[in-house]
Amino acid sequence: MAVPAAFLAPILLLCGLGLRLAAAHGPTGVECVLFNEEYMTCVWGSRETLTTNYSLYYWYENRSPVVECKRYLWDRGVSIGCHFNQSEIVQFQPFHVLLNASLNGQALEIRSKRMELQDLVKPGAPVNLTIRNMSSNQLQLTWSSPYPKAQCLEHAVKYKSNKDTSWIEHGVKGDIFSFPSVDYEKYYTFYVRSKINSYCGSTQLWSEWSVPVVWGRNTTSKGLAEEQLQWFWIHTVLVPIASCLLLLVLVVLLVRMERVWVILMPRIPNPSKNFDELFITHNGNFQEWAGVPKDMLESFKPNYSESICYVSELPSREIHDPQWDGSNRLPGGPGAPAPPRA
């Protein structure tokens, strides 16, 4: 039985309207961002704007076949994007993406424009912001970046004081920013962000702003916290260790100096303590104190006797014989001259 044309017309009209509504609430394109060259996400909508699940297919021009996304991003049961690992990312190769879905038996396809991934890099926010006083009125701000190719970065520094109403922003090529003039009556807040420079890509994607660092009066900044932490380590760790080392050195020096004094000024030995037993216990008896046996003492005694010989001195002849002269002749003796007669 033939269906009247008047009956089919409204149905076809409703189907076409449904497809147009689905396309109107579908994704308008795919936005891909390569985060710090570690991973990439390609997003095509949100739960509020999508009415059906889309599948993503991608390929590199003249390099690889078409591959479906392996890790979809979901929002309340609706696919809104795709996550790419680092191993799936190839820079300096044209990148293509295709989205498709099926709605009421009709295929919906959305092709992205050609993309260059090196132009879609968004580096990580700078870290370790540090402020140093270079002179009486000059500050130096330094930082580091988690991005692996520091030579491919350019930076922007924004700052203002507590008395300013707007931020001041400066472009910086390296990772050092010099602030030429400061007011010590103010305190300043600094932020830093980064992006890929023109030598490594043509992206306009800036990193997020860093954690702020503050300098000046009433500062509760990270720089002050780091300075306080340094002083804490100095007072609680370095000073005790240094004191112990100094004490150890002094002890070693004292020991060595005692040896030197012993060499230069030797002590005179005092043997009196060694003879206390001789005089106190043995009353000075050396043989008893020395432990000499009695039989040995008896062997040293003489076994003979000697008669006593008395010796006396004879008187001088000059005293007992006054006529004794030097001729050794007695008076009246032979050869003596006779005395004269009267």
Kindly report, residue by residue over 166-183, the tens digit of the pLDDT: 999 999 988 999 988 788
Which residues is 214 bridged to in the sheet?
Answer: 189
Residue with the bigger pLDDT between 265 and 167: it is 167
Which range has the worst mean pLDDT, 21-35, 72-86, 117-131? 21-35
How far apart (Å, rounded) are the C-alpha atoms in residues 174 and 151?
8
Local confidence band at 281 (pLDDT 50, 70, 90 cut-offs) = confident
Tokens encoding 225: 């916290």
Better pLDDT: 168 or 315: 168
Report the alpha-carbon angle 98-201-84, nearest 5: 40
Q: Looking at residue 5, what is its pLDDT?
A: 46
d(CA 167, CA 309): 136
The span from the CA of 86 to the CA of 68, in Å, is 16
The backbone torsions φ and ψ at residue 322, rounded to the nearest 5 degrees and listed phi first, read -70, -20
Q: What pLDDT does 83 receive?
A: 96
Which pLDDT score is estimated for 17? Answer: 37
Average pLDDT over residues 126-140: 87
